[in-house]
């Protein structure tokens, strides 16, 4: 394929990605409690800068719904000025992690936790953006939003005909209906057009034609007016431990989402594979720039990336160009964006949030037992009822407990082999967690028995279980019994120099 043809395919793909990114950049900014221009700045940096540096050429970077909840809470608690320093530190952590070649470790995340995190984020986005859809302000937590929504809805539709809240609600619902119809019934020839763009465009035109009295996107006529430079004085706010924790949380979640997205993008095409450490460093540079400019955090995003691949992109040119199109539109034609109803962008995020809560994830996880779906549900509910960081940590703790439980499973079989003789087979890992189970088996052995303990199928035995066997052996000798341990070579070092009743 010639260079000119590759560039033409990338140019066409860049337009598709631009059309997908435009409503999402503004909608995610509003969901984060930030002005829409902040999301557009992040999208521009994600295209022009991170697109050039990226280790995953076909992955698109920009503001992500996965961080909207965290940013909303940060801005609500500490103010918009705190976001810049936090992002600078988070980006620095990502840059250093990439330079230290830690990219692979950020991918070591249990699928149940990742799916549960996305589901919890999706629920929170839906609960908050339902308020945005009726031109109301979302509250601090998901539970508050859920409890307050019925009252807000009644207030919206109890107004006289033509009320702004009810008009906004109809606009948001109309956007969702348009997106669903387009996603399920659009002509194949128009497959490159995203449902979000169709829904927002139709909602905007209808609201202008009907002159609906609803809130619309506020953008400065000059994009530079939306930049809030992070000053050296504002960096002193990082002395607050809560902001340090927020920076670590953003760095980890953004990195995990980026690298999981990059791995998913690799499965969509046969071109060059992602260089995860380079991608992580590029994201760090991008987030440091976003922090310096006071914009939103960014990650590699799967929706825009998959649109890029499906549109036929072959290289990083499409990602870079989409950032250029965003910059051109915001700089040259801001009045076009200023007509977009905020309720319509809320509808886009509600639709996106519902898609994050994927019931198929539970069915897929159920193939690996009952515990992974349980971790998924508990992680999602913890995020909704507490906060994002607490929910993710809860999922990690449950995963580690499951791992500890699985790694310490021990099967014990006791068989009588003759008069006064018995054999005890141990299979699995004999840890302190299995001391009660082993003690119960030993208690069932008749006094004066010659017991042979077979460890040929034992992967590990710790000090607690070994001492329990030795104690039983000492007691057995006083009653005419004996303990014999048959042990595999790999376990020899764990029992050498211990009781002389141990035979190899």
Distance CA 319, CA 328 (A): 15
Take residue 267 and report the two structure tokens written for it. Answer: 């499965």
Instruction: Identify whether the C-beta of residue 260 lies closer than 8 Å to the C-beta of residue 281.
Output: no
Question: Buried b / exposed e across 49-84, counting CB within 10 Å, b at 16+?
Answer: bbbebbbbbbbbbbbbbbbbbbbbbbbeebebebbb
Of 274, 266, 232, 258, whose CA–CA distance to 61 is shortest? Answer: 258
* Structural domains of the chain in order of their starting residue, each with its CATH number: 3-400 (no CATH), 410-494 (3.30.750.24)
Contacts of 185 (CB under 8 A, 6+ apart): none
Confidence at residue 2, expressed as pLDDT on a 0 to 100 scale: 57
Confidence at residue 498, expressed as pLDDT on a 0 to 100 scale: 45
Using alpha carbons only, give the angle 330, 95, 28 rounded to the nearest 5 degrees: 35
Question: Buried b / exposed e across 318-338, counting CB within 10 Å, b at 16+?
Answer: bbbbbbebbbeebeeebeebe
Q: Provide the residue-wise pLDDT of the chain in tens; the chain has 504 residues.
A: 555 655 677 888 888 899 889 998 999 999 899 999 999 999 999 999 999 999 999 999 999 887 888 899 899 899 999 999 999 999 999 999 999 998 877 666 778 888 888 888 889 888 888 988 988 888 777 788 888 888 877 777 665 444 678 889 899 999 999 999 998 998 888 877 788 889 999 999 999 999 888 999 988 888 889 999 998 888 988 989 999 999 999 998 899 889 888 888 888 888 888 899 999 999 999 999 999 999 999 999 888 888 888 888 888 999 999 999 999 999 988 888 999 999 999 999 899 888 888 888 888 888 888 889 999 999 999 988 887 778 888 988 998 888 887 777 889 999 988 888 999 999 888 888 888 999 999 998 888 899 999 888 888 888 888 899 989 989 888 888 899 887 755 555 445 444 434 433
Confidence at residue 11, expressed as pLDDT on a 0 to 100 scale: 86
Confidence at residue 244, expressed as pLDDT on a 0 to 100 scale: 94
Integer Rg of the chain from CA: 29
Angular region, 230: left φ>0, alpha ψ -120 to 50, beta rest: beta
Confidence at residue 282, expressed as pLDDT on a 0 to 100 scale: 96
Confidence at residue 171, expressed as pLDDT on a 0 to 100 scale: 94
Confidence at residue 502, expressed as pLDDT on a 0 to 100 scale: 41
Instruction: Identify whether the C-beta of residue 72 lies closer than 8 Å to the C-beta of residue 33.
Output: yes
> Whole-model pTM?
0.78
Confidence at residue 493, expressed as pLDDT on a 0 to 100 scale: 47
């Amino acid at each position: 394929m010639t260079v000119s043809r590759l560039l033409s395919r990338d140019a066409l793909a860049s337009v598709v990605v631009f059309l997908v990114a435009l409503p999402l950049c503004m909608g995610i900014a509003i969901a984060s409690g930030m002005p829409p221009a902040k999301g557009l700045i992040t999208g521009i940096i994600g295209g022009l800068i991170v697109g050039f540096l990226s280790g995953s050429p076909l992955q698109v970077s920009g503001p992500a719904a996965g961080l909207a909840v965290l940013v909303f809470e940060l801005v609500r608690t500490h103010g918009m000025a705190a976001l810049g320093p936090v992002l600078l530190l988070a980006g620095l952590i990502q840059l250093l992690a990439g330079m230290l070649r830690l990219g692979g470790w950020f991918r070591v995340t249990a699928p149940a936790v990742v799916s549960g995190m996305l589901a919890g984020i999706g629920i929170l986005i839906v609960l908050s953006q339902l308020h945005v859809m009726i031109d109301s302000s979302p509250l601090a937590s998901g539970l508050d939003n859920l409890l307050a929504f019925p009252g807000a809805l009644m207030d919206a539709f109890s107004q006289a005909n033509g009320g702004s809240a009810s008009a906004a609600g109809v606009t948001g619902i109309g956007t969702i209906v348009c997106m669903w119809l387009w996603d399920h019934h659009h002509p194949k020839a128009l497959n490159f057009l995203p449902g979000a763009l169709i829904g927002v465009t139709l909602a905007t035109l209808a609201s202008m034609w009907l002159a609906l009295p609803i809130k619309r996107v506020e953008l400065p006529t000059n994009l530079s007016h939306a930049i809030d430079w992070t000053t050296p004085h504002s960096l002193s706010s990082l002395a607050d431990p809560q902001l340090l924790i927020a920076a670590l949380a953003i760095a980890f979640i953004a990195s995990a989402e980026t690298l999981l997205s990059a791995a998913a993008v690799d499965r969509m095409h046969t071109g060059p594979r992602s260089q995860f450490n380079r991608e992580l460093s590029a994201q760090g540079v991008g987030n440091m720039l976003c922090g310096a400019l006071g914009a939103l955090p960014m990650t590699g995003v799967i929706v825009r990336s998959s649109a890029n691949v499906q549109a036929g992109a072959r290289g990083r040119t499409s990602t870079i160009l989409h950032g250029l199109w965003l910059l051109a539109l915001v700089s040259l034609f801001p009045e076009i964006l200023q007509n977009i109803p905020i309720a319509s962008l809320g509808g886009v995020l509600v639709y996106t949030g519902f898609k994050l809560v994927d019931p198929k994830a539970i069915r897929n996880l159920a193939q690996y037992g009952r515990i992974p779906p349980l971790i998924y549900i508990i992680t999602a509910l913890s995020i909704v009822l507490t906060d994002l960081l607490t929910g993710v940590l809860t999922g990690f703790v449950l995963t580690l407990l499951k791992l500890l439980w699985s790694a310490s499973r021990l099967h014990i079989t006791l068989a009588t082999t003759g008069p006064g003789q018995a054999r005890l087979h141990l299979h699995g890992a004999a840890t302190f967690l299995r001391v009660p189970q082993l003690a119960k088996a030993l208690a069932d052995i008749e006094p004066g028995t010659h017991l042979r303990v077979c460890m040929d199928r034992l992967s590990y035995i710790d000090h607690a279980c070994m001492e329990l066997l030795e104690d039983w052996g000492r007691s057995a000798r006083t009653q005419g019994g004996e303990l014999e341990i048959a042990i595999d070579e790999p376990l020899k070092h764990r029992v050498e120099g211990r009781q002389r009743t141990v035979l190899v």
